[in-house]
Amino acid sequence: MAAKLTTDKFARPASRSERKRKESPLCSAKERSVMLRRRRSSRTAFPKVVRSSRLLPAVTPCPARAFAFLFRMVCSLVPIAFPENCNMLLESHRGLELPLGINMASPSREEAIPSFEVSPEKYVHWKLSFDGPVARLSMDVQEGRGLRPDYDLKLNSYDLAVDLELADAIQRIRFEHPEVRVVVLSSLKDRIFCAGANIFMLGSSSHPFKVNFCKYTNETRLAIEDASAFSGIKFIAALNGTASGGGYELALACDEILLIDDGNSAVSLPEVPLLGVLPGTGGLTRVVDKRKVRRDIADFFSTLAEGVKGRRAVEWRLVDQVVPKSKFAQIVEERAKALAQKSDRPSQGKGIRLTPLEPRLLPSAIEYKYVSLKLDPALRVAEILVRAPAEPAPRDPAQLAEAGAESWGIRAFRELDDALLRLRMNYLEVGTMVLKTSGDPKAVLAYDDFISRSRSDWLVREVLLLQKRVLKRLDLTAKTIFAFIEPGSCFAGVLAELALAADRSYMLDDPKRPVWMQLGPLNGGDLPMSNGLSRLETRMLADSQRAKEILSKSERLDAESALAAGLVTFAPDDLDWDDEIRVALEERASLSPDALTGMESNLRFAGPETMETKIFGRLTAWQNWIFQRPNAVGERGALTTYGQAGLRPQFDPRRT
């Protein structure tokens, strides 16, 4: 009976998966053996000896396998989940050939994401409704509507398609519905809130996809906590059924967790006992750091596959309240009204509609209104150019609202966010991002001044918080970041954060073509990193007063002054510029991508540790490692054998 309880909270294998494991008259047992996929870092180029091994397992051909292979190829070329973007996706993949003949756009087209934009009228898995100050986000995952056709999203389990809708809904509530003060997360399915990330999706995904999927879901949960802390929007997890794994981790991101007391519903983090991996969306960190669960109790809870329910869940601080089924809706409504009273959001007002970005997808570039993304396959480099505003800064919040989502502070950073996501998920072989800017620095500083003096307005505040979140996503991107400050650049104000976020920055020192850099009012702490410090403070850890001195001057700095102030790494003259840039890029491309990812992640977040840095620097790093270990993904690993009748995982007992 215990075994049944441990598996009921997860999606059962689809019937076609059951059939695949049966004896086939067309294939012998030897022919059905599956070669384990080579697992690499998301930035590691394909080994030269590997040609088509990712697509063609080394097995003796048979008619059934040949048909299955052709079917998979057709599915990969025609993205079922996004048919309207199929042509654009294929167009974006042409002409991006690496020297080894590997398409830099994506090592696996079936895992490429054609678009990261969704809208409420196209939601498939969530229902969003409004009742005055309360918004309701109800989870109703459609089993057969995942990103790929090789798994079913049973029991409200989720994949990236589900989380893209969740992230979009949270963003739209913040910008389009200023009257909303409380969001209630619940489920439309009976006796189940959410079974977490779909196990069969994870088991069939490449290692880079698994890592990037977990990173994105972590960023979405942090966006919930950011809205609670700074936007005046509180979140209630109304668990009208069992919340397992990622489902409970979603609840942990909320301000309050209410669990229905129906004798069956429980909360659990069963990844360790059932799957041999860690809860990938901050569960362990939030249980002890946010919920303040005692460490020994958290240890027992994290190895208890069936989870905890009833009064014990409250006593162990895993939920805030257990409510009888007959009073559940009433109590949820009462708590929502009580939390709404504490918000400073306007009781009425008009939001702005977040319009589609509609980028142009070219063979080796993506063009937006304010952002350009260009690819250099030979060096595995992506150049991101951010342009300064062309129009004057808004005079007041009313003018900002009139401009809406087209205003530079909103549109440019939404475009940068989209470009970063595309690089992260679809262009895995890109190892280095080169950040550039162009335009009038005065225009950027004028926009910053408007934001700084009008931050008490709800919409202005949301613009600032959007910029903060996008810059954090830049910090967390597993690619080298170089900033090149050249003639025509506008690394000023908020765009100076791009240079401060870089692993290295190069500024041309040429008296005939002067280049300037200037900080503004937002660089002093309004755009903090995950460690809670500004990028300038993180840069000046050895002398905290130095950062204050630099900000107090508020003057533009030439290359020599910026180098002396510690704002840039190198300032080559016009004779050495081309050679230094070339050597830096070639050297970076020659180093181990795995070592670079680890090195950069350690160096970027100097200073104090926060719950956020623990999630990305500690929990995610361990999860990244475990996702490659045989105990999880080997032939008899727990994640590989989960759901397969008669197979039990076999572990290597050595602790490392």
Give residue-wise pLDDT tens across range 216-260.
Answer: 999 999 999 999 999 999 999 999 999 999 999 999 999 999 999
Per-residue pLDDT for 3 more than 70? no
Identify the CA nearest to 316 among candidates 332, 295, 334: 295
Last residue of a domain, one of 590, 606, 633: 590
**Locus of tokens 């409504």:** 333
Closest by Cα among 429, 479, 472, 430 to 599: 479
Q: Is 257 in the same domain as 328?
A: yes
160 and 300 housed in the same domain: yes
| pLDDT at res. 368 | 98
Residues linked to residue 184 through DSSP beta bridges, in sequence order? 136, 236
Q: Is residue 46 part of a domain?
A: no
Provide the token pair at 370. 């304010």
Rounded mean pLDDT of the chain?
A: 85
**Domain annotation covers residue 417:** yes
Burial class (CB in 10 A: 0-12, 13-18, 19+), 655: exposed
Residues 194 and 259 in one domain: yes
Q: Is residue 531 part of a domain?
A: yes
Helical (H) or strand (E) element with 361: strand 360-362
pLDDT tens-digit map of 79-116? 333 333 333 332 333 333 332 233 443 445 578 899 99
- Same domain, yes or no, for 368 and 237? no
CATH code at 235?
3.90.226.10
> Stretch 625-638: mean pLDDT, rounded?
89
**pLDDT for 195:** 97
* Final residue before a domain boundary, out of 282, 311, 340: 340
The answer as to whether 37 is a domain residue is no
Element (H or E) spanning 242, and its range? strand 241-244
Judgement on whether residues 520 and 432 belong to the same structural domain of the protein: yes
Flag whether 653 is in a domain: no
Pair 378, 270 in one domain = no
Q: Cβ neighbours of residue 448 under 8 Å, at least 6 residues apart?
A: 493, 494, 520, 521, 522
Flag whether pLDDT at 536 surpasses 60.
Answer: yes
- In this prediction the pTM is 0.84
390 in the same domain as 490: yes
In this structure, the chain runs to a length of: 656
Please report the pLDDT score of residue 109 as a whole number.
56
Question: What is the C-alpha to C-alpha distance for residues 110 and 124, in angstroms, rounded to an integer?
Answer: 20
Distance (Å) of CA 360 to CA 125, 390, 483:
28, 20, 24
% the chain with pLDDT above 90:
75
Domain that holds residue 519: 360-590
pLDDT tens-digit profile of 381-406? 999 999 999 999 999 999 999 999 99
Whether 535 shows a pLDDT value over 80: the answer reads yes
> 398 and 299 in one domain?
no
- Given a cut of 60, is residue 583 above it in pLDDT? yes
Q: Which of 590, 611, 628 is the last residue of a domain?
A: 590
Instruction: Tell whether 403 and 330 lie within a shared domain.
Output: no
| Number of domains making up the chain | 2
**pLDDT value at position 72?**
40
One domain for residues 210 and 242: yes
The answer to whether residues 519 and 376 belong to one domain is yes
222-224-226-229 Cα dihedral, nearest 10 degrees = -130
Within a domain: 119: no
pLDDT digits (tens, 9 = 90+) for 10-21: 444 444 444 444
Residue 114 counted as domain residue: no
Pick the more confident residue, 543 or 244: 244
pLDDT for 620: 74
Whether 70 is in a domain gets the answer no
pLDDT tens for residues 490-519?
999 999 999 999 999 999 999 999 999 999
* In a shared domain, residues 365 and 335: no
